[in-house]
Amino acid sequence: MRDVLVGAAQFEHRDGDKAYNLARIDALAGQAARQGAGIVSFHECSVTGYTFLRRLDRAGLARLAEPVPGGPSTAGLIETARRHGVVIMAGLIEADGSRFYKTYVVVGAEGFITRFRKLHPFINRHISAGDAHQVSELRGMRAGFLVCYDCNLPENVRATTLMGAEVIFAPHVTGGTPSEMPGRGPIDPALWEGRHDDPETLRREFDGPKGRAWLMRWLPARAWENGVYIVFSNAVGRDDDTIKPGAAMILDPFGEVQAESRALGDDVVVTELKAEKLQRAPGRRYLRARRPELYAKLVEPHPAGQRSITEPGWKVDPTS
């Protein structure tokens, strides 16, 4: 890996408004480029919006979806990448034949680079699951991709690291959702609307177990135990009927927060990922200490009759 400046963004998307969302991506990519970033990462479904997808039937999803790389949103992202001289990563709904995917698109000034399909989608039953981990050469580094729920399974981060990833881009739309965990749950929309008059109360909500404190229970561990950088992007503000806490951040291979947004709104943070941290990270020793002959249980199939089920901590409309 060579040293590279990377940006992690957060912004308040508008549901189904691709033109608006692409314009915000363009503006924040330009802001990151002026700070020297070579790569800018945006959140899951940043082009389309996210939680409102749970209410779409198949026809509604089809109207929103588009091919990758041949669709207009990918073309728009490429134009942004060329204008600012950066690699852009953003999420949308991909149409591939009769199937739909939650896809993370990677483009540069040279055009389309790659895509990653979310392994564990759940927001809409018409969205298919991706079937492969992925690592790509990108600006002198080995980049892996995992979208939101994918990161909740340690196996996905470990498998991506074992494929050679040095940096894992982890776009999310998370936080502020119903949960049985103590202290978690929805964020009052009135706090978001009143953020300019009372930013302190909203900041406490965003920093507490509904937002950052929950992330800090597990996200640093993924970086530390594998010795990789993790670039976390997230929505902020209104996402359908929820409020998202942002907290775009970049964690180093020691699991430390190297850069983080504290903005109560659209923002991008930029920091340099340095190769020498990878060489010193404890997680790299742990990879060498593995004893795969002991891990057969990890790859056993589910018991007969049991299938893999991705379940969020809240109800998804089964009729969508």
CATH 3.60.110.10 given to domain 4-290: yes
pLDDT at 27: 98
Q: What's the chain's Rg over C-alpha atoms? A: 19
pLDDT in tens, 178-232: 888 889 999 999 999 999 999 999 999 999 999 999 999 999 999 999 999 999 9
The C-alpha atoms of residue 113 and residue 104 are separated, in whole angstroms, by 11
- Tokens, residue 37: 């970033």
- Is residue 233 within 8 A of residue 288, CB to CB? The reply is no
The C-alpha atoms of residue 68 and residue 59 are separated, in whole angstroms, by 19
Q: What are the boundaries of each domain within the chain? A: 4-290
Return the closest-CA partner of residue 113 out of 141, 79, 87, 142.
87
pLDDT in tens, 48-99: 999 999 999 999 999 999 999 999 999 999 999 999 999 999 999 999 999 9
Length of the chain: 320
CA 209 and chain centroid, separation? 19
Which of 257-268 are b and which e, b meaning 16 or more Cβ less than 10 Å from the residue's Cβ? bbbbbeebebbb
- Tokens, residue 72: 């207009």
How far apart, in Å, are the Cα atoms of 228 and each of 19, 111, 218, 291, 293? Answer: 34, 27, 14, 20, 24
pTM > 0.85? yes
